[in-house]
Amino acid sequence: MKTRGVVIVFVAAATLATVARSGHEQPVYPSYYPHEIEISVPAPEQAAVLLATGKLHAFVGQPPSFAGSPPDSVRAVESLGSFLVVRANPAQENKESTCAAVHAFAADLAGRAGGFVLHPYPVTPMHGDYLHHVDLAEAAKARLLAAKPDLARELKVRASGGLARSLVRPTSFAESAQWDVELVEVGAAELVLFGTLAINGWLGPSWLKEGWFHALILLGDSSGASEAKESIEAAVKRLQAHDFEGLAERINLERELVATLAGDCRALVVGYTIKREYFNAEFSAGIENIAFDSITGMNSAIFLRTVKLKDFPWNGWLALGVSSLPTAAWNPVAGFTDEFGRLMWSAIGDPALLSSPYGSEWMFNRVSDVESVPAKKAE
């Protein structure tokens, strides 16, 4: 591995390999895994040009800045971008007025939604367990659309994040410490990173991408009543310990947990955004056979384990770009936590199991489930 404005990772058979000075390479590689991966950090405008000309295979993270519509050779994959959460000022002690303020502001956003998908429920269609919650999500949306936003114009609002700030009326911005509600944008990939334990080839825990786990992180601190907190803690312990009998009991436990979390009006998930990441699909300069994660997108191990370059029967030189400079430490214990580091660790970490693209299940990478079969007796 060496650095010259970019990071180049040489891989052979899913391990780091020494660069042969003669230029000769192994004649056969066991998979589509590229034997050289170059990761750079071009500016968004430069990334758009590199993608269009086939000099960059994919741009991970924020979308590049195309002058117009992307060319036909450049395509996109979609994953969960971020959540929009409305939170009440914890200094407010009157629960009735707190609930009225949160619901009024959320209803006002519903009436002029733009830049996000209105979805007042913490489990989204991008989660693998959404079908377990779809009726509750639709009921929550119907209640929000029926609410009256009359109070919204009187509220003082604090906002965090570019999208959140763009959704607040200019006259409603809180100019002092006195505020009624705040609108916060929370990145979905950061929620996964929050619970990831990457050690000894393991990327657990198993509930990392479950909707109930994301609901817990987003809304858990806002559950006020002690009874609700005790109920939430008990449900989480049971889910994490697999203390349930069968799928039906597990689903009901998850539904009850999310309903309790979403039932407290001190915080409300009002919607989510879609993240689009672009890649070059031109023949023969592009890539194909792409798998990606529904939550973290291309910044996932399964992307690098499936991507295939079109101009090689197998392997080849893969050129990737990311949208932000590296800032985290480069070590597998407490580092690789930024966008650049996570992508690089996906290339060299070689985990034993990979996260399923759309669910919380695990897929075998360098281990296999082999059933012992008795040897046949010679006749």
Could you say which of 208, 241, 273 is where a domain stops? 273
In a domain, 376, yes or no: no
In a domain, 375, yes or no: no
Tell me the pLDDT of the chain averaged across its residues: 84
Residue 215 domain boundaries = 80-273
In a domain, 152, yes or no: yes
Shared domain for 93 and 209, answered yes or no, is: yes
pTM value?
0.84
Residue 331, C-beta contacts closer than 8 angstroms, at least 6 positions apart? none
pLDDT tens digit sequence for 272-328: 999 999 999 998 889 998 899 999 999 998 998 888 898 887 778 899 999 999 998
Shared domain for 136 and 221, answered yes or no, is: yes
Per-residue pLDDT 10s for the chain (379 aa) are 444 456 665 443 333 333 334 444 444 444 567 888 999 999 999 999 999 999 999 999 999 999 999 999 999 999 999 999 999 998 887 878 888 899 999 999 987 767 899 999 999 999 999 999 999 999 999 999 998 888 888 999 999 888 999 999 888 998 777 899 999 999 998 888 776 665 555 567 888 889 999 999 999 887 666 678 899 999 999 999 999 999 999 999 999 999 999 988 889 999 999 999 999 999 888 999 889 999 999 999 899 888 889 888 777 889 999 999 999 888 877 788 899 998 998 888 777 788 889 888 888 876 666 665 665 665 5
Shared domain for 145 and 109, answered yes or no, is: yes
Determine the distance from the C-alpha atom of residue 335 to the mean position of all C-alpha atoms in its chain, rounded to a whole number.
18
The DSSP symbol for 209 reads T
Q: Based on the structure, what is the number of domains in the chain?
A: 2
Shared domain for 233 and 304, answered yes or no, is: no
Shared domain for 162 and 263, answered yes or no, is: yes
Q: Tell me how many degrees the CA angle 259-261-262 measures, rounded to the nearest 5.
A: 65
Could you say which of 238, 273, 308 is where a domain stops? 273
In a domain, 372, yes or no: no
Could you say which of 247, 273, 299 is where a domain stops? 273
Q: At 122, list the tokens.
A: 């913490």
Q: How far apart are CA 51 and CA 36, in angstroms?
A: 18
* Segments of the chain assigned E as strands: 2-3, 7-12, 15-16, 36-40, 58-60, 74-88, 117-118, 157-160, 181-187, 267-280, 287-288, 308-309, 317-322, 353-355, 362-364
pLDDT tens digit sequence for 69-111: 999 999 999 999 999 999 999 888 787 888 889 999 999 998 7
Q: At 173, list the tokens.
A: 């911005």
Q: Tell me how many degrees the CA angle 42-47-50 measures, rounded to the nearest 5.
A: 115
Rounded to 10 deg, the angle between the 188-195 and 211-219 helix axes is: 100
Shared domain for 199 and 313, answered yes or no, is: no
Shared domain for 329 and 285, answered yes or no, is: yes
CATH number at residue 232: 3.10.105
In a domain, 377, yes or no: no
